[in-house]
Amino acid sequence: MSGDGAPTIDIDGSGLTVEIVASQWHTDVMDGLVAGAVRAAEKSGAAYRVTRVAGAFELTVVAEHLARQGADAIVALGVVVKGETPHFEYVCESVTLGLTEVSRANAVPVGFGVLTVDEVQHALDRAGLEGSKEDKGAESVEAALSTALILRSLA
């Protein structure tokens, strides 16, 4: 399981704003990811806003816009399930490279909560739902806010 060895992160996000950008495909999974992200933001004391986009591919342009608007941290949530065509590889690579570029170019942490899975059950196992093994929505917020605090301390 990919979550083995994950750190426990306790964050005081007071005074920070995290922008949560989430796709709409695979509603059950996305509802779990968004709920986990919101729980983690609230637990940290950070302000947050959730913006929904059509799919994973659209996460990048909205994240770029939010980074330029001065977000302290951004969390991108989505699900891409492997199918029978190469579309999966194109979308996964584009989203990964795009979000990396948003973070690097703007010096804004982007929590990567885009699940790239072989089957829907793998996503459900990571969605933070009852019975899930992991909560990637919460983990993505924790990682982004933790990095925002590190960047702030280095300023």
56 in a known ligand binding site: yes
CA distance 109 to 11: 15
Inter-residue contact 47 to 18 (CB < 8 Å): yes
Q: Which of 26, 65, 87, 122 is catalytic?
A: 87
87 is catalytic: yes
- Burial (CB count within 10 angstroms: exposed 0-12, middle 13-18, buried 19+), residue 154: exposed
Contacts for 49 with CB less than 8 Å, ≥ 6 apart: 17, 19, 20
Q: Is 19 annotated as a binding residue?
A: no
80 labeled part of a ligand binding site:
yes
102 is in an annotated binding site: no
Asked if residue 73 lies in contact with residue 148, where contact means CB atoms within 8 angstroms, the answer is yes
58 annotated binding-site participant: yes
57 is known to lie in a ligand binding site:
yes
Is 88 a known ligand-binding residue? no
Q: Determine contact, residues 112/140, Cβ cutoff 8 Å.
A: yes
| Binding residue ranges | 25, 56-58, 79-81, 84-85, 112, 126
Q: Which residues are annotated as a binding site for (2S)-2-hydroxy-3-oxobutyl phosphate?
A: 84-85, 126
Q: Any idea which residues carry the catalytic annotation?
A: 87
Binding annotation for 5-amino-6-(D-ribitylamino)uracil: 25, 56-58, 79-81, 112
